């Protein structure tokens, strides 16, 4: 097969998201791809589940069969060089195991695991056997895991209510096999995140931004983190930048539906839309509107 891209522009880092598809595109694969693009990276995606959801919450899940997920991953890794992987919703143990096998078979420098257990609306996004497998097997294959407070409680079995308990949970998760952990305290009074890499604890401060009514913040944080790691940043620097990105994207979020607000992933590239009803006609000779009317 001839190589069509021998003359092409150099490609940016290619990032893989392994996650569920959200039709409202505020969370999951779509949020990941938008975040990758906003960081100047090219995103590819393997879909773990087709969800039935809108901004008003998750109604139903149709999990991808593990063999299909495996096939998606195989075809991608044979074709493109993957700089980093972001893992989101997995659905069940079989899909989690397929991802672990994929990570074992291929050396990928940066693996960000967002241990998604439930949706904000309470839908279960990983079955019990999957949670056990994630804790015992998948966690130790990731460069960093990014649980929120509820996920940190579920994974450690301990209460996580303040910064001190977040640090204790991060340490416990590293004892349990994680290489590095960022416990996200977005729902606390002061939105502090706690990073523990096995050696030192870093507190990532932040001002409280109203996150209750936003959709896909966890996806965007983990994806921005993966992008920053792929671009060569250290973990604490990547985490600081990813957090700043999400805070700003939350601040700029806007309603597209009747439920929660998706983030503005592209707040840096804001292009003013034309005023309604004004459609500019391109003024070059090839456009029919630019031709003199034939009488």
> In a 3-state reduction of DSSP, which class is residue 235?
helix
Q: Provide the CA 98 distance to its chain's centre, in angstroms.
A: 19
Among the options 219, 240, 243, 259, which is catalytic? 219
Residue 2 lies in a domain: no
Considering its fold, how many domains does the chain have in total?
1
Is residue 157 part of the annotated active site? The answer reads no
- Provide the CATH number for the domain around residue 198: 3.40.1190.20
Question: Looking at residue 45, what DSSP letter applies?
Answer: E
Residue 83 lies in a domain: yes
List b or e across 84-100, with b for residues whose CB sees 16 or more CB atoms inside 10 angstroms.
Answer: bbbbbbbbbbbbbbbbb
Among the options 34, 86, 172, 184, which is catalytic? 184
Q: Contact, 115 vs 87, CB < 8 A?
A: no
Is residue 216 part of the annotated active site? The answer reads yes
Residue 283 lies in a domain: yes
Determine the pLDDT at residue 45. 98
* Mean per-residue pLDDT over the chain, rounded: 90
What domain range includes position 206? 14-290
Tell me the backbone φ, ψ of residue 249, rounded to 5 degrees: -65, -30
Taking each helix axis from N to C end, the angle separating 217-230 and 235-251, rounded to the nearest 10 degrees, works out to 140
Residue 203 lies in a domain: yes
How much is the average pLDDT of 128-153?
A: 96
Is residue 25 part of the annotated active site? The answer reads no
The encoded tokens of residue 54 equal 């809108």
Determine the pLDDT at residue 123. 86
Residue 60 lies in a domain: yes
pLDDT digits 0-9 by tens, 222-278: 999 999 999 999 999 999 999 999 999 988 898 999 999 999 999 887 666 666 665
How much is the average pLDDT of 132-141?
A: 97
Confidence of residue 132 (pLDDT cuts 50, 70, 90): very high
pLDDT digits 0-9 by tens, 182-231: 999 876 667 789 999 999 999 998 776 666 678 899 999 999 999 999 99
pLDDT digits 0-9 by tens, 40-60: 999 999 999 999 999 999 999
21-25: long-range pairs with CB below 8 Å, 24+:
21/47, 21/49, 21/50, 21/51, 22/51, 22/53, 22/216, 23/51, 23/52, 23/53, 23/54, 24/53, 24/54, 24/55, 24/215, 24/256, 24/257, 24/262, 25/262
pLDDT at 27 over 60: yes
Among the options 217, 240, 243, 259, which is catalytic? 217
pLDDT at 7 over 70: no
Residue 117 lies in a domain: yes
Residue 7 lies in a domain: no
pTM given for the model: 0.89
Is residue 184 part of the annotated active site? The answer reads yes
Determine the pLDDT at residue 215. 86
The encoded tokens of residue 101 equal 């096998």
Residue 201 lies in a domain: yes
Is residue 218 part of the annotated active site? The answer reads yes
Q: Contact, 242 vs 224, CB < 8 A?
A: yes
Among the options 185, 216, 240, 243, which is catalytic? 216
């Amino acid at each position: 097969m001839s190589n069509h891209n021998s003359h092409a522009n150099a490609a940016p880092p290619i990032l893989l998201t392994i996650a569920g598809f959200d039709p409202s595109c505020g969370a999951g694969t779509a949020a990941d791809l938008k975040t990758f693009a906003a960081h100047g990276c090219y995103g590819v995606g393997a879909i773990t589940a087709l969800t039935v959801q809108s901004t008003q919450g998750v109604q139903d899940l149709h999990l991808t069969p593990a063999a299909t997920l495996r096939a998606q991953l195989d075809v991608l890794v044979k074709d493109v060089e993957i700089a980093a992987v972001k893992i989101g919703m997995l659905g069940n143990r079989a899909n989690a195991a397929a991802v672990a096998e994929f990570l074992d078979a291929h050396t990928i420098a940066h693996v960000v695991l967002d241990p998604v257990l439930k949706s904000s609306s309470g839908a279960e996004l990983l079955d019990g056997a999957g949670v056990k497998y994630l804790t015992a097997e998948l966690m130790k294959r990731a460069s960093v895991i990014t649980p929120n407070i509820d996920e940190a409680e579920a994974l450690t079995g301990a209460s996580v209510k303040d910064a001190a308990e977040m640090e204790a949970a991060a340490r416990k998760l590293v004892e349990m096999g994680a290489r590095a952990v960022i416990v996200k305290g977005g729902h606390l009074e002061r939105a502090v995140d706690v990073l523990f890499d096995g050696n030192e604890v870093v507190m990532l401060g932040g001002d409280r931004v109203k996150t209750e009514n936003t959709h896909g913040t966890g996806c965007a944080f983990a994806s921005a983190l993966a992008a920053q790691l792929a671009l060569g940043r250290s973990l604490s620097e990547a985490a600081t930048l990813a957090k700043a990105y999400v805070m700003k994207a939350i601040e700029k979020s806007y309603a597209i539906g009747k439920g929660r607000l998706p983030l503005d992933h592209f707040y840096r590239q804001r292009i003013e839309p034309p005023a309604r009803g004004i459609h500019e006609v391109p003024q070059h000779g090839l456009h029919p509107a630019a031709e003199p009317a034939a009488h």
